[in-house]
Chain A
Amino acid sequence: MAYQFSALSILVVDDNTHMRTLVKVLLHSMGIREVREATDGAHAFDELRLRAADIVICDLLMSPLDGNDFTRLLRQAQDSPNRFIPIIMLTGYSERRKVEAARDAGVNEFLRKPITARSLYQRVIEVVERPRPFIQSADYFGPDRRRRKADNPALHGSRRAEDRGESPDIVYLTE
């Protein structure tokens, strides 16, 4: 049986109305009925406090609260409506430092602009079929940054201590 995407609720966050509309058109064509919009990170945070969503698709470059600030807020704030919500980051940037900064903020997936039907569909499927466990350490809370390093050309060569299996004390929990 194929996925019943009609059950999904997605929040699209972008300060550009044309980009929000484009993403909405594609999500609706997948059968997703509930697609809500926000124009920046602060608006999105308020929107999620009002009503839950399953996935956030968020632009990186926004003002006053950009995509990374918004992601950190969702992951770390005491009053966050959902610290575990999957975040797909829309970005026109491909430089490694931008990708790493977003990853370190707690982003799950990247969707590079210009977007296509296939690229958006693939990212939604990634979130659905390969959900990452979350990591809580002294300096990070967010999806496991190790698992998909090889899938991201911008991150090739990155060898953090935890990538080498040197995490000192791993405790497995359930949400």
Chain B
Amino acid sequence: MPEGPVHVIRPAKTIAERLGARKGESHGLDPALLARMEAALGAHVAQNAHLIPAELTRLRSRFAGARADGDFRPVFAASHDIKGLAGTFGYPAVTRFADSLCTYLLSLPDMSAASPLVVATHLDAMTAALESSEDGALVEELAQGLAALVAHAG
């Protein structure tokens, strides 16, 4: 229980009022606006089809650096970026494998103890998912293989 008084402070003016809403009025999601947003997102994804392959290349480069100097934190950062982006760009399996790699690296007491085999296999799985246009059967096979590999490495 907090010590002392608890003050509840209500903002004097709400954002809704600034946006033209009357007090207590709510509009929820406007389907037409949502459609415009989805169209804009679709166009952005189409214009940037190179992005996820380029991010995978960056991840491979970071991995090469980690193999040389033992610092896997840049690998984690690049994988974390891919995890956040790939799903939006149409590659949910790449996001899934990047998430698996991030989880593996975070599970280590020290990232410098990362197994190069586990990292390399995750990279190969992401590349295979990308190149196969996320073929469902292949993705499941890869996911099972990665889970077994991580369990064995742990």
Contact = CB atoms under 8 A, between A and B. Distances in A.
Nearest to B91: A114
19 contacts: A16-B85, A18-B48, A22-B88, A26-B41, A29-B36, A29-B39, A29-B41, A113-B83, A114-B84, A114-B86, A128-B15, A128-B19, A128-B21, A136-B9, A168-B2, A168-B5, A171-B8, A173-B7, A173-B9
B7 A135 contact: yes
B6 A92 contact: no
Given A3-B21, A22-B85, A25-B40, A121 B7 contact: no
Interface string A109-132: 000011111101110010111010
Nearest to B83: A92
A40 B119 CA distance: 28
Contacts of B6: 135-137, 162, 167-171
Given A3-B19, A30-B37, A128-B15, A114 B8 contact: no
Contacts, number: 182
Given A92-B80, A174-B9, A8 B88 contact: no
Interface of B: 1-12, 14-16, 18-21, 26-30, 33-34, 36-41, 44, 48, 51, 55, 77, 80-81, 83-88, 92, 95, 99, 102
A84 B15 contact: no
A115 B89 CA distance: 10
A28 B41 CA distance: 11
Contacts of A139: 2-3
Contacts of A4: 19-20
A122 B7 contact: no
A137 B2 contact: yes
Given A172-B10, A174-B9, A92 B1 contact: no
B29 A172 contact: no
A171 B10 contact: no
B27 A121 contact: no
Interface string A42-53: 000000000000
Given A3-B16, A4-B20, A174-B11, 20 more contacts: A3-B21, A4-B19, A7-B18, A7-B19, A8-B15, A8-B18, A18-B51, A19-B84, A30-B33, A30-B36, A114-B88, A117-B37, A117-B41, A125-B29, A131-B11, A131-B14, A161-B2, A167-B2, A169-B5, A175-B9
Nearest to A8: B19
B15 A118 contact: no
Closest 9 CB pairs of A and B: A114-B87, A29-B40, A117-B37, A113-B84, A137-B2, A136-B7, A161-B1, A169-B5, A3-B19
Given A2-B30, A117-B38, A173-B10, A129 B87 contact: no
A86 interface: yes
A38 B84 CA distance: 18
B150 to A, nearest CB: 17
Contacts of B16: 3, 128-129, 131
